[in-house]
Chains A and B, each alone.
Chain A
């Protein structure tokens, strides 16, 4: 690991001031579950780390019928928070599945949303890919069984955040603090596709901090969240989905379908949502919506199975949202 300076700012303002506009020069450190591992593997080599665990809020505050979550909140605390569970159960469900208890006791909300891809080309220093300032993505011609099936190219990473998916579904807004003050960015505009920004996965500038997640009042929605993992212990999902539905009698009035681990961003499927509106939820309508969610899937040489897995995740999340038991 390259030697680095360590800054321990007292508050948000000091923390922002300690950052740098240069990429990966001065970096915020939350729970360190991603960043420290990248530093040990010589993938990311900052000059300076800025500890934001104390400078940023780690609490939940009611605001305008919704909740505001501090970026320094631990994943374990998110998973166990009664108000989050009551108002946004899909967020609790996503949080409790992340990593291991040890990881959840360290990892923060800001870190989970801003962690870098788990792509094995990115994570091994032998491969200088787009994400490391290189000139290519190794996965299309290489080993791509865990890579993107939607919205990808020229990089084929999948977005690694579990929280981003339900947060996007619930219409979260992220508060960013930078040298010129704060800005509010809806989650839907926060994450960026490789064709918009090849090296980074979001609009956060190197000298900005994600300080809060602001969740609007959930409204009268039912939610379903379903993750498919190869291993039951400590593994990344192959595909997962959050589904929110608002009912009008026995038919769906409005639906949100967001998928994770299938695209370089948390992927909202308008096709699946349209397929649900006006329908009652049955195994057949759920399967049809899942089919619609994968209509534009473009698998690579080895990840075609992810299309099936993602369909299953979407279908079962829909059924769960409707209170129907699934495998």
Chain B
């Protein structure tokens, strides 16, 4: 049985009379990635702030590593890592010095820095000032800093937002490795591809309410009411066939006549599920 690292129990949060989180429930186990998927303003960052003790919930209980988030003090940060869109770096310090500072604070051997820098491809930039780094490099620096002390839980608030696809892929690769090593990762994103690819479980969040929760595959199959097939024929024409008795006969005929280049089943994506459930686009 995997250890429970995060537990959200009926969490609600109100700001000036506005309920931004309503009865949110979720669980994250060791070695898993839980994604909170939703558009801007859905309550994703508020959830992270509650879980990391930066905000108190109006109602409900949140636990990180068994500790109630309302009771946590700074020592919890020795066991968790946080990457948010407002994580800052010391621009007048080099990449290495930025990491050295936090390594000293977190009592981490300095050898870890070079290992991690090599792991994310920043080693050759270690002497560069942080102010000279590109956005993707800064994001990788922030990520290394968050995992410098090998935390048990990692919080990532839109870690690949605004990054080029190559950097985003490198970050995805690292997150998968960290997950394999046993780290529990709480990820917020509005990128449904990222969530599908990385997350073991996702919660679709809309206006502070979890409208769907489960594995990405389960959620998509739940909304796969009408089976469809996308067919590319020899004449390069794309045909969409709905699963009916008559269409299956047509498909069989095409197969026998060797008229088909490729067939794909068309399950709904998380994005289309979100659209169907909320009537809103994710991005």
A binds B: no
Which residues of B are at the interface with A, using a C-beta cutoff of 8 A? none
Which residues of A are at the interface with B, using a C-beta cutoff of 8 A? none
